[in-house]
Structure 1
Amino acid sequence: MRIVFAGTPEAAVPSLRALAASDHEVVLVVTRPDAPLGRKRVLTPSPVAAAADELGLPVLKAARLDAEATAAILATEADLGVIVAYGALVREPLLTGLGAGWVNLHFSLLPKWRGAAPVQRALIAGDSDLGWAVFQLVAELDAGAVYRQESYTPEPAATAADVLAALAEIGGAALPDIVTRIGAGATPVDQVGEPSYAHKLTLSDGLLDPAAGSAAVLARYRGVTPEPGAHVRIEGATLKTSQLAIADTDAAVPAGVIRMEAKQVLLGTADRPVRLVRVQPAGKQAMAAGDWWRGLRVDQLSIDPLPAAPEPPTEGITR
């Protein structure tokens, strides 16, 4: 089949490479424009753009699929669109403008965790059974019928970055066969069950709540690592907790208190402490938690209380 591929981050690259190496023909790669990266804010192509250039594939850089981008894509007369974390919506007339429409590789077991951050939200929620799905793109968010989905159980300490990398490789490797079956007339199966939604993460999602207990703290850390990053606040300053682990001690540390016990820097939670392995104080480089702690020359610290949850909207407020 002749394919238009749309994707932007590193998680989309394995899919592009698998399709480019298959019997199918990638006639156009659509990705978001170059973005400023690093301290010097140098304009840098997306990982998908860099991979497409390496593979010698034509590239269209578009921040959104407007009329101009739509016309360029439809002009390819491709048989199928494949989208993996592109970062913008596909609307009519583009949605149904290609021969077999569009399919999306999504990193959850649908209908669970539709939306922008499925792996992250699943980990925060403590889900142990994750997965990926390839489904027919429709106007409703991630609601299309599914061609194939498979479960995946990550390692207990795996972060969102680890899980995304694994699912990107596994799901991407399966795409050429799924595309072949679509070309042969395969019929997708409707989603079954109650949907849940994986809203985009914000900085506040990374704030740890020791009162929730060690399992919840570690689950949140896994879900927000590397972005937006797990953190606590101490006297108004942010301390990033770039690596957390289960503590191998039952030392009694009050919830919200940081202290060193048995040569480990521990953060107390509602049940048992978690171990700070690497931290990054505000304005400094990441470092071993032990080095940070010894430099403070204190017996213990208390983190700032969590801010009060916002009041729910009152009746009659419009969105």
Structure 2
Amino acid sequence: MKLIFAGTPDFAAGALAALIAAGHDIALVLTQPDRPAGRGMKLRPSPVKALALEHGLRVEQPLTLKSEEALAMLAAIDAELMVVAAYGLILPRAVLDLPARGCLNIHASLLPRWRGAAPIQRALLAGDAVTGITIMQMDTGLDTGAMLSTHPVAIEAADTALTLHDKLARVGADAIVSTLAALPGLRPQPQPEDGVTYAAKLTREESRIDWTRAAADIERAVRAYNPAPGAHTLLDGSVFKLWGARAVDGRAEPGQLVVDGEGRCCVGTGRGLLELTEVQAAGSRRLPAADFMRGRAELAGTLLGV
């Protein structure tokens, strides 16, 4: 099938690789402009661009798809279908109507739950037991299009946003290939009106830990904000990041750093204790909490977050 592919991060690159391996004709790849990255802040291509160039595919990086030039470029491809995965630009109606079979999106949730920008993190924050991939027809709404296929993925107790992202990326890559293979016989199903939730974009402010919340809630936040933006608090006035934690029984003042009888480094919360397993102090590297606390007995009793 002659396709246009639009995507930017690793999540999308996996889908592009699967489509290439399946033998589809990728006539054009759209991706975000190169961004500064690394210590030198040199321009770096997106994972999708890097993969496309490896395979000799045509790559375009328009700032908008609303211009006449962009529309003319896409129309000239005469693609049968466009596949979109975490692209980063809004597709106007004129673009959605160009391909003969329309535009399909690989969305990282089981719609209509978690429409929007951060479905993986929001599912973790909410304590969902299952999420998944939805292959949907795109319309002008925010992830409101009819569904062609759904692919559930269990959320494990130790999943972080990173591990869940990687699971969903693999499922999404397989799902788009199988959906395209079955496309002639698929009947799009409208999304249910009940159960709609929105996955708002993450902010740095919300990743600061509120120690008055229950330990179980904070544990989910630590997993949801790993790897970015990173759950954090303050230790002696400096940023202190939490990369691993689990809720355990016990009581202490919210935010109080304690070492229990088994040598575990814990923090009091609004309900229960949060055992820290991996942390990062300002200017330091990530460490197991036990290693960080070694030789720092004076920190016991310190209030975090102030």
Relative to the length of structure 1, the TM-score reads: 0.90
Residue of structure 2 equivalent to 1:255: 254
Contact 2:79 2:100 in 1 (8 A): yes
Displacement of 1:295 in angstroms is: 4.6
CA RMSD after TM alignment: 1.6
Displacement of 1:185 in angstroms is: 5.4
Counterpart residue identity of residue 43, structure 2? L
Displacement of 1:154 in angstroms is: 1.9
Contact 2:151 2:175 in 1 (8 A): no
Displacement of 1:93 in angstroms is: 1.1
Residue of structure 1 equivalent to 2:144: 143
CA distance in 1, matches of 2:90, 2:219: 33
Residue of structure 1 equivalent to 2:190: 190
Greater alpha carbon shift after TM alignment, 221-230 vs 203-212:
203-212
Provide structure 1 residue ranges, at least 5 long, that are not aligned to the other structure: 306-319
CA distance in 2, matches of 1:166, 1:217: 23
Greater alpha carbon shift after TM alignment, 113-122 vs 203-212:
203-212
CA distance in 1, matches of 2:71, 2:161: 33
Contact 2:247 2:272 in 1 (8 A): no
Counterpart residue identity of residue 242, structure 1? W
1:125-274 aligned at under 5 Å gives the runs 125-182=126-183, 184=184, 186-192=186-192, 193-247=194-248, 250-261=249-260, 262-274=262-274
CA distance in 1, matches of 2:158, 2:295: 28
Residue of structure 2 equivalent to 1:10: 10
Deviation string, structure 1 residues 80-131 (Cα, Å, up to 9, x no partner): 0000001111002111111111000001111111000001011111111111
Displacement of 1:263 in angstroms is: 2.0
- The verdict on how the C-alpha distance between 1:110 and 1:303 changes in structure 2, with shifts beyond 3 A counting, is same
Displacement of 1:38 in angstroms is: 1.1
CA distance in 2, matches of 1:189, 1:89: 23
Displacement of 1:162 in angstroms is: 0.7
Relative to the length of structure 2, the TM-score reads: 0.93
CA distance in 2, matches of 1:200, 1:113: 11
Counterpart residue identity of residue 69, structure 1? A
Counterpart residue identity of residue 80, structure 2? D
Displacement of 1:210 in angstroms is: 2.5
1:29-108 aligned at under 5 Å gives the runs 29-67=29-67, 68-108=69-109
CA distance in 2, matches of 1:304, 1:176: 47
Provide structure 2 residue ranges, at least 5 long, that are not aligned to the other structure: none
1:255-294 aligned at under 5 Å gives the runs 255-261=254-260, 262-294=262-294
Displacement of 1:254 in angstroms is: 2.6
CA distance in 2, matches of 1:75, 1:295: 67
Deviation string, structure 1 residues 3-51 (Cα, Å, up to 9, x no partner): 1001100111111011111132111111111111111112111111111
CA distance in 2, matches of 1:21, 1:82: 15
Identity of aligned residues (%): 36
Moved beyond 4 Å, runs of 4+: none
The alignment covers a number of residue pairs equal to 302
Q: Does 1:28 align with 2:20?
A: no
SS state of the match for residue 166, structure 2? helix
CA distance in 1, matches of 2:231, 2:114: 21
Residue of structure 1 equivalent to 2:123: 122
